[in-house]
Each structure stands twice: as C-alpha cells, then as structure tokens.
Amino acid sequence: MDKNTFTGLFLIMIIMGASFFLMKPSEADLKKERIVAHADSLKKGLIKTPGVITTAKYTDTSKAKATAATDKKVDSALLKTPFGATTIGTQKFVTLENKDIRVKLSTQGGKVYSVELKDYKTSNKMPLILFDGDKNSFGLTFAAGNSSINTDKLYFTPTGGDLQVAEKDSSSITMRLNYSATQYIDYIYSLKGTGYKVGLTIKATGLDQVIANTNTLNVNWAASMRRQEKDMEQERRYTTVYYMNTERDVDYLSESKDDTKEISDKKMQWVSFEAHFFSGVLIAKEGFSKSSLGVTTDVTDTVDVKRMSANVVIPKSTDGSYPMEFYFGPVKYNFLKTQGYHLEKQVYMGWGFLAYINKFSVLPVFNFLSQFTSNYGLIILALTLVLKLVLSPLTYKSYLSMAKMRVLKPEMDEIKGKVGEDNPTLLQQEYLKLYKKAGVNPLGGCLPLLIQMPIVFAFFRFFPSLFELRGQSFLWMHDLSTYDSIITFPHIPFVGDHLSLMCVLMTISTLIYTYFNNQISGASGQMKYIGYITPIIFLGALNSFPAGLNYYYFLANMMTFLQQYIIRLMVDDKKIHAQIQENKKKPVDAKKKTSGFQARMEEMMRQKQQQQLPPSKKK
C-alpha cells in the first residue's frame, strides 16, 4: 500500500471515529442546554407537572394559616364543578400481581402508581421498580360544562374486586370515577397469571351530555424512569421515547438532549418510555390519532434517569370503549417479538444497513450459540471465532496483497529515487505503471479491511443494546453490559473517572496488531508510527462502553494474530517475487479491462500531469 492510499484511509478512519466521539458537545454545554430546554418545556406545557409536591425546602410557614383558612372556600367552589365530589378523598392503593410483575394502582387518578419487575434486580441488587410515586401521572383531559377537567388528581373508587388482588390466573379490577350514580368513567385493569402486559379499557357511561366530545379521548401520560444500572451516564445515553405508527415505522426522540415532537399526520400504534434495558409501553389497539411526545433530563438528579411525557388522542372503538394495553418489562429483542405489535422495533440495532447486519446476521448466530451454553463470555468467544472463520478468505487476500506490496517496495524506492518527490503526480503515474505491469492491485490489502468495517460498527451498537449481557459475569467482569473498572480517580476529560481493564487489554492488543501489521506491509518512516494514534483515541472513547464490546474487540485482535501467523507460514515471499517478475515479462494486454478505480486514477494522474506542462506543450 503506497503512502497516499494509506494516509487517505487513515484519515477516513480518524474522521469516522471523531464523528462518534470527538464532535459531541461538552458535558457543561449539555447540562446548560438540558436545563434551559426543560424550563422552556414547562413554560409551554409540554411537560406536565403531576400536581403540587410540598417539601420543607419550599414550604412558607408564614402563609400556612392563610392557606388553611382558604381550603374550605376552595373545596366549596370545587364541589360545584363537574366531578367536583371526586376532588376530595384519601389516596389508597390496589395491587395487581402475577408471577412476573407487581403493579400498584392509586385511587388518586385511578392510575398505575408503580411497577416492580419481580424477576429482575437493579445493579446494586435492589428490587427493580420502573417508576414509583407522585412523579408519575396518567389522566384524561376533557371539557365538561364550563370547566376543563384532568382526572389525574381526582379520586376513583375501586369496584369489582378486593383491594388486594394477587396470584390468580387472571385478575381484574375497575377504578371508577363517579359523576352520578348512573354516570361515570371506568378504568378496567386486567392482568393474566404470567406476563408483563396490563390490559386497560376506558369506558364512559351516561356522559354524552356532560363531556363535550366522547368520540376521542385525550390521555396525558408522564413518568420519571428510575435508575437501574451501574453507569447512569450510559443508561441516559440509551434512554428516550420510542414510538411506532400503524404502518410499522419506528422513530425515537433524541437520546443526547431534551426533545419534543408533535405527530398528527400518521396514526401511532404505541409509545414507549424506554430506559435502556426496560420500558413502559402504552399500546392503543385502535391507534393514536394525535400524539405529543417529550423527554427531558435533570443532570443533577441521581435517582431518575429521564422524565418522559406522552399526550395522545385515542378514538372510540365500535363498542363505545377505548381499549389499550401497557407493557412493563425487559427490552429483549426475541422476547418482544412474541408480544405482538412489533414491540421488538424499539430495540435499536443501528442505523441503515448496520441494523440489517445485526438483525439478520449477528443476532441469529448469537441466538444459535446461546442454545449450547448460558455463559455469555464463551458465547462471545464462539461468535468471534465464527465471524473470523467466515471472513478468513478476506483476511488471506488482504495479507497476500500487502505481501506483494512489500516485495515491490525496493522497486518503488528505486522509482522514487529517479523521479524524486517534487513531482508527486508523475511519481504516482510511475507507481501505477509498475502495479499494472506486475499485476498488483494497490488497494488489494485495504478493500477487504473496508468490507469488514460495517461489522465492526454494527457490533458497536449491538453489544450495548443486548439485554442478554445484563448482569452476566465472566472472569473478573461482573457485568458484561457495562464497564469493568479496576481503578477509579477524579474525573479526567475524555477518559472519565475510572479505567476499564478490558478496554486497556483491547488497546494493548490493537497496538501490538499495528506493530505486526507494519511489519507485513513494510511501512517505514512516519507511516510506521501514524497507526498507533487511533488505538490511543479509542482507549478514551471506549473506556465507559460495555466490557462485552471491548472483550469482543480484544478477541478479534488475538484471532487476527493467529490467522496472520498461519497465513505467513503458507505465503512465501520468494515465490511472490518470482511470480511478479514473471508477470512483468508478459506484454501488457491493451484489451484487458482495467478496473473502474484504476482507470479513474490513471485519468486523474494524466490530467494533473497535463496541467503541470507548459502551455506550449499542452495538447
């Protein structure tokens, strides 16, 4: 590989790496942007505040008596409004529970108050609760009389079951919001004996003359997703709102900054509050006719990852009800496929063709290997071995091409000595003549490597999204889904506050690989050392990424060493040199088709050479 080609490919690799890691704004800028965006969202009403939460920090004791004195007047006024009697009550809880989840319902708002996933724990072995408390809201908004009603803070009455419903093949309970004895709104919740779905059917009875429009239902849902993982920064990196329309197109809000989106041109099937490995999904069987979505981050919060909101409009079904479903559970690709509604599409596998590589190539191989062992360290080892075997013909071709270039190097140095470096265009022309005469493709060593690059980048997204790695240990790595720190220290820009052992091993193996690759390609001078820069850059970039990803890169390097050692035993430089000399003796076939790239290079060289000639000699 000549100097210009190597330099071009190296710069491409640096630019691609920089686009992932180096061009993102600083944490200080992100913090400032998130705080400003959050404040703007509150002002515009995009983020619904679920009621007033009084704390010691904001309590004004001097006004306490005045507030108490006006309570009776406020209550009296509220009683005269539609649903006024439901503004007064005491919050109680109803539990729906099966083998997999425990769902706590609140009589205030008739909503899901908290959800616990019984088969999973947080990174510090505590019960895994998706969201909990008064930060979460779920309410209907509508006009009744001259009042605007939001049911989130109104008091419902549990009917059709005990206040504790658990361990049944199928449990259900109705939360009723009374307008009168014959006029009411029912939230009918149902839960099967196993599974992560909670049915919710909303039905209004006798309210056609009370509510302005009963053909559609305005639902405001908001939740603060709690921290579950070891690395909150990584968890926030993959936490956002996903949504799918009825045409199966999936999109999501920004993962790196506060974001909002209004959707009215297409019907939405579901909206998901996804917190990396777990999600809460609201599914409308008839679809949402309109949606307003939002996500915000409070960077000072160490309990909640992000706050999400969804204001949606649901059309009435043929039987006069509004059928919906919740899914509260793991974001596991194969499991989500069994849940219907294409929920697996909320598992982000990368952009463009990278997603196809992961879904239709890498994931099936991974699932196949999972049938033989539950040790995911061994599965990653086997996966790497399979991929290396499949790509071994490309590795062999790359090695052989670099060996040819190494054999040609003395002749290239001789040409450089004759032509000099002052005329790079002419020098490249002479190099191309030599390549053509010797039957050598100068990019033969690079193209196989470039073909493998999509797989490298596909894995970059595959491993962080792989639920199966969560909590899985291997060797010293306690959790393959996050970093394996061996030392912690005060925060250092670009590196973080720790050092990952597997990332260090990966970097060392990459440096060794670069050294041996220089020996194979015959790189010298500045070109000999330029390849060592990239591994150092990726040390900082991948230091906080999952240990499983760095483990794969480490294994890939080690297997490449083994492949090159075996290939080197098979390839004889003397035979290559003899073959090149035989090729040079053969007359160049003018009719032989030149590759498109080589033809463009020759034409470009010819034009540059023509431009450098004096005007009197130009054709």
User: Do 329 and 449 have their domain in common?
Assistant: no
Does residue 355 form part of some domain?
no
Whether 546 is covered by a domain: the verdict is yes
Q: Same structural domain for residues 338 and 368?
A: no
The answer to whether position 404 is within a domain reads yes
The model's pLDDT over 130-158, given as tens digits with 9 standing for 90+, comes to 988 888 999 999 888 778 889 999 999 99
Residues 334 and 407 in one domain: no
Strand ranges (E), 297-354: 304-315, 321-330
Q: Are residues 429 and 290 located together in one domain of the fold?
A: no
The answer to whether the CB of 269 falls within 8 A of the CB of 245 is yes
Looking at the domain assignment, is residue 35 inside a domain?
no
Asked whether residue 343 falls in the same domain as residue 442, the answer is no
Residues 178-196: tens digit of each pLDDT:
998 899 999 999 999 999 9
Out of 320, 348, 376, a domain closes at 348
The Cβ of residue 591 has, within 10 Å, a number of other Cβ atoms equal to: 4
Q: Which domain holds residue 389?
A: 3-26+360-585
The one-letter code for the residue type at 324 is M
245 lies in a domain? yes
d(CA 42, CA 38): 6
280 with 426, same domain? Answer: no
Span of 68-77, 243-252, 376-385 with lowest mean pLDDT = 68-77
Verify that 88 and 182 share a domain, yes or no. yes
Look up residue 64 and give its DSSP letter.
H
Q: State whether 271 and 312 are in the same domain.
A: yes
According to the model, what pLDDT value does residue 64 have? 40
82: its two tokens: 């539609």
> 298-327 pLDDT, tens per residue?
989 989 999 999 999 988 877 778 999 999
**Residue 253 domain-assigned (yes or no):** yes
Structurally, the chain folds into a number of domains equal to 2
The answer to whether the CB of 314 falls within 8 A of the CB of 286 is: yes
Please list the helix, strand and coil fractions of the chain in percent, rounded to the nearest 5, in that order: 45, 25, 30
User: Residues 331, 393: one domain?
Assistant: no
Q: Does 371 share its domain with 458?
A: yes
Residue 533 in any domain: the answer is yes
- Residue 551 CB: number of other CB atoms within 10 A? 26
**Does residue 21 lie within any of the structural domains?**
yes
CB-based contacts of 566, cutoff 8 Å, min separation 6: none
412 & 372 share domain: yes
Same domain, 447 and 472: yes
CATH number at residue 124: 2.70.98.90
Residue 115: which pLDDT band, with cuts at 50, 70 and 90? very high
Query: Residue 24: pLDDT above 60?
Result: no
